[in-house]
Structure 1
Amino acid sequence: MPTTLAVFSDVHANLPALEAVLRDIDARLGRGEVDAVYCLGDLVGYATWPNEVVTSVQERGIPTIAGNYDEGVGLGSDDCGCAYQTDEDKARGAESIAYTNGAVTEQTRRFLRGLPQHIRVTLAAARDRKAEPVEVLMVHGSPRRVNEYLFEDRPDDLLLKRMTDAGADVMLFGHTHKPYHKALAETSEDGEQAYRHAVNTGSVGKPKDGDSRACYVLLHVDPEMAKTDPAYCSAEFVRVAYDVEEAALAVEASVLPDAFAQMLRDA
């Protein structure tokens, strides 16, 4: 029987977006549509509710890994590990992490500092004992670096190498804020073709794909199916509407750059 995981990432202190996503996930849990929930990090930064977001995830006991922003704030650093391209973006980024470092409680900082780098889930077949288990690896940027950007246009060979080196049949990651799913074929020495799946979960609180709604993934994995059939894994991207203006106005009422509010509106 397939297993369904609800996986989200990159909340970035946007509490209204997170609450909307969790309501949607809760409804699916209540209907028995979801087996487990995971978070791929970057809980804080850019918006005004870092403590509330961390508390919400912590109280629910959602297994969570550290994003680059979580690492920076957890260590009290002034560097979020973001690859800003312009001096203006660097200046805004410095304002963001300075604000977040000043806003978080010591309890929040301790929680962020203690987050693991990755989560591995092994899904074994219940009926076909000869079927190989499916190894699902969850990272923030990549298995190699927490802040490596794996955009959709990265070469398939690179994605396969990251997964092969990490022993992952399915790799879930965020960081780019742009969702996608690739089923990547590889051929063994004996000529048999099998598939690995790369899934970017998009962003809950700061989408960058032209859709301002929050995004998360329902990952469906059937370990009873052979990995020679790409259909053993599928990804369903769920978009959830939330009060974008509430989040944007909260940013504008703070000392954070108004540009962060407009980013939420424009996605």
Structure 2
Amino acid sequence: MKIALLSDIHANLPAFEAVLDDISKQSPDAVYCLGDLIGYNVWPNQVINLIRSHRIATIAGNHDLKVSKIHPSETGCSREDSTDYAYKLVGKNERDFLLTLPKHLRLTFELNNESVDVLLVHGSPRSINEYLLEDLPENYVLAMLKEYKADILCFGHSHKPYHRIVRSGSDSKPHFHHLINIGSVGKPKDEDPRACYVLLTVDKAADFANPDGVKVDFIRVQYDVEKAAQAIELSLLPDDLADRLRRAM
């Protein structure tokens, strides 16, 4: 089974459209979004409606839940007070959609007479706001994987893609777990401005006694970064967000 995973679109419509086009060429069996559809740019409603029209199963990100603090009637904003501008752009129907998204999704496979659990979260299983950085201590990571019974843990939030493999079990019967940071569609922070998403392949040959038991491909997609950056500069959003988009910082 080939699964497309994306995260952290952040209302960047040109990036999201480019990724959707690329995903359609890959013909995955399923597509999942790990949250943060909104924030930092001016197309939250268009992004939300594309997610819905493509029937992409989605979980809530921390930015998505920020709309709970914005009353639907609050649409006014000035350049001097633009903190909430990105969230005030969200329509009522789109707001209702965001506030009913699930916290996480779990996929369970039966492979080679073994149950395999894939857990999809935004930040971490413990908190939507936790950053699972690549250099976390291995004992912390293993304790979390054991607590939440995850063979493959997929997440976003930091906008920095990586694939890390950690080992549990005994020397005679090792078990390898996979941590996959999906990266960001709409606001990369790894000095590569291209949109990022992941193709995860789990097939009948999957072997968790082997560190290479599943295939993880990070796909980078060119899009019109300048169009997205200029949209920020023409809005009430802080101009430095446009510069960060250009530099992928």
Q: Please name the residue that 1:76 is paired with.
A: 69
TM-score (norm 1): 0.86
Can you list the C-alpha shifts for 1:56-112, whole angstroms capped at 9, x where unaligned?
001111000000001111x1359xxxxxxxxxxxxx9x834x112321110010000
Q: Please name the residue that 1:205 is paired with.
A: 186
Q: Name the aligned partner's letter for residue 38 of structure 2.
A: V
Q: Please name the residue that 1:25 is paired with.
A: 23
Return the offset for 1:234. 2.2
Q: Cα distance 1:223–1:120, how it changes in 2: closer, same or farther (>3 A)?
A: farther
Q: Please name the residue that 1:84 is paired with.
A: none
Can you list the C-alpha shifts for 1:158-206, whole angstroms capped at 9, x where unaligned?
2222221111100000000000001111124x85211000000000000
Can you list the C-alpha shifts for 1:1-54, whole angstroms capped at 9, x where unaligned?
xx111000000000000000000001111xxxx111000000000001000000
Q: Cα distance 1:170–1:223, how it changes in 2: closer, same or farther (>3 A)?
A: farther
Q: Counterpart of 1:57 in 2: which secondary structure?
A: helix
Q: Counterpart of 1:107 in 2: which secondary structure?
A: helix
Q: Decide whether the 8 Å contact of 2:10 with 2:44 is kept in 1.
A: yes
Q: Decide whether the 8 Å contact of 1:9 with 1:40 is kept in 2.
A: yes
Q: Distance in 2 between matches of 1:155 and 1:257?
A: 36
Q: Does 1:219 align with 2:230?
A: no
TM-score (norm 2): 0.92
Return the offset for 1:122. 1.1
Q: Counterpart of 1:232 in 2: which secondary structure?
A: coil
Q: Name the aligned partner's letter for residue 243 of structure 1.
A: D
Q: Does 1:123 align with 2:109?
A: yes
Q: Distance in 2 between matches of 1:49 and 1:174?
A: 20
- Quick check: which one's helix share is greater? 1
Q: Does 1:196 align with 2:189?
A: no
Q: Please name the residue that 1:173 is paired with.
A: 155
TM alignment of 1:134-145, pairs within 5 A: 134-145=116-127
Q: Please name the residue that 2:140 is paired with.
A: 158
Moved over 4 A (4+): none
Q: Please name the residue that 2:115 is paired with.
A: 133
Q: Name the aligned partner's letter for residue 105 of structure 2.
A: I
Q: Counterpart of 2:201 in 1: which secondary structure?
A: strand
Q: Please name the residue that 2:74 is paired with.
A: none
Q: Name the aligned partner's letter for residue 165 of structure 1.
A: E
Q: Distance in 1 between matches of 2:43 and 2:143?
A: 37
Match of 1:186 among 137, 155, 168: 168
Q: Distance in 1 between matches of 2:205 and 2:246?
A: 43
Paired residues, what number?
A: 240
Q: Which stretches in structure 2 are left out of the alignment for 5+ residues? A: 72-78
Q: Does 1:265 align with 2:246?
A: yes
Q: Please name the residue that 1:108 is paired with.
A: 94
Identity %: 50
Q: Counterpart of 2:146 in 1: which secondary structure?
A: helix
Q: Please name the residue that 2:31 is paired with.
A: 37
Q: Name the aligned partner's letter for residue 261 of structure 1.
A: A
